[in-house]
Homo-oligomer: A and B are copies of this chain.
């Protein structure tokens, strides 16, 4: 599929992230106005809440974009997702007649002038562990090379439930957490700020339809509405002490940052690729009827406070061993009900090369092999004031499907975590 031309010039730039082929969904505000639903087109945001209010473009009889999240729209289901997108593409197409442009133009807002919010209400959040290079790297560091890949890893898309309340939109600062840490030589744990605070480069799948019983991989794929970039901030020292036997808990609860635009499955359709060959046959319920990964190139940058960013990793979502559809199908095997707004983290996306690793833990091999930034600074883990940013995109024939930025600056830990940070009242 070539570039679809729009009458909005900035959408036709070959390197731009938001051509007419993309049309990702987000929530924005300008000034003191309440947040509204919109789509990114070139350098502009089109106010879709306004189009619905004025009857120019509606998804259903009752309004669904009169709320600052996309959940009500997602509930309408795949047929409506497709018909709405088709109508939206017509309205913005270079072939649209002048009277259409005249209707739409008053509802365009420069992206520069807008603040972006979480695009959907996160119902529940599940984080997976589906990148083989990542699992092997981390397994080697945590359990030694002979136990690197757990025995179940080639059979199960391993996942654990995360904390939905921790999900924040790109741009939200992230406070370095305190927690229990214990060094290998220590007799007892200490309560201290995390000294090994890290990122995990992931893709998040947004579940757009509910289910009640087990679903097939094909059904799971149909339930997925779209994808976002996701940074699963991780306190490695807290994780190492807490994670056995029941998995990561507080180490992953500080924040999970997502990019502000949901890139739809429809926009990514031309970029579908197969999962890799299997070392061990998958059980039938996990076998895919078609390609369900995507060719999405990904990048991580690190910028010390006030300095320019350095790219510290480049990888691709196609490196994953399991697709989001396989993860979602597995998620339902025991009858677990899934809901609109559930978010599934892919797991860290690391490639085979050293500079394609999606976490500092792997990039610096647990801090033993520090990296040097273009600005001269050395990093083992994140330092206060650092901004970590994920970007990504799929490269089409003369166009690009971008995700926008997924960024956060790390603030220094609280001096006393029990002073003034709580919203509950002090004392009894």
Q: Which residue of B lies closest to A128 (CB)?
A: B246
> Within 8 Å of chain B (Cβ to Cβ): is A235?
yes
Q: Which residue of B lies closest to A139 (CB)?
A: B245
Interface residues of A in 163-184 (CB under 8 A from B): 163-166, 175, 177-180, 182
Copies in the complex: 2
Bound state CA distance, A163 and B337, in angstroms? 9
> Within 8 Å of chain B (Cβ to Cβ): is A210?
yes
Nearest CB in chain B: distance from A376 CB, A: 31
- State which of B163, B211, B251, B283 has its C-beta within 8 Å of the C-beta of A180: B283
> Within 8 Å of chain B (Cβ to Cβ): is A267?
no
Contacts of A249 in B (CB 8 A): 158-161
Interface residues of A in 116-167 (CB under 8 A from B): 123-124, 129, 139, 142-143, 150, 152, 155-156, 158-166
Contacts of A182 in B (CB 8 A): 152, 155
The reply to whether A166 and B213 form a contact with Cβ atoms under 8 Å apart is: no
Interface range on chain A (Cβ under 8 Å from partner): 35 or more
Contacts of A417 in B (CB 8 A): 213-214, 285, 333
The reply to whether A164 and B124 form a contact with Cβ atoms under 8 Å apart is: yes
Q: Which residue of B lies closest to A347 (CB)?
A: B246
The reply to whether B339 and A165 form a contact with Cβ atoms under 8 Å apart is: yes
> Within 8 Å of chain B (Cβ to Cβ): is A241?
yes
Contacts of A378 in B (CB 8 A): none
* A178-B333, A216-B422 known, 16 other contacts, Cβ within 8 Å: A152-B182, A155-B189, A156-B189, A158-B246, A159-B249, A160-B247, A178-B334, A180-B283, A189-B283, A212-B421, A212-B422, A222-B424, A222-B428, A247-B248, A250-B330, A255-B335
Sample of 16 A–B contacts (CB below 8 Å): A155-B188, A161-B161, A161-B249, A165-B336, A179-B333, A212-B423, A214-B421, A216-B418, A218-B428, A222-B424, A222-B425, A253-B331, A253-B335, A254-B334, A254-B335, A254-B336
List the 7 closest A-B pairs by CB distance, nearest first. Answer: A247-B247, A213-B421, A253-B336, A161-B161, A177-B334, A250-B334, A214-B417
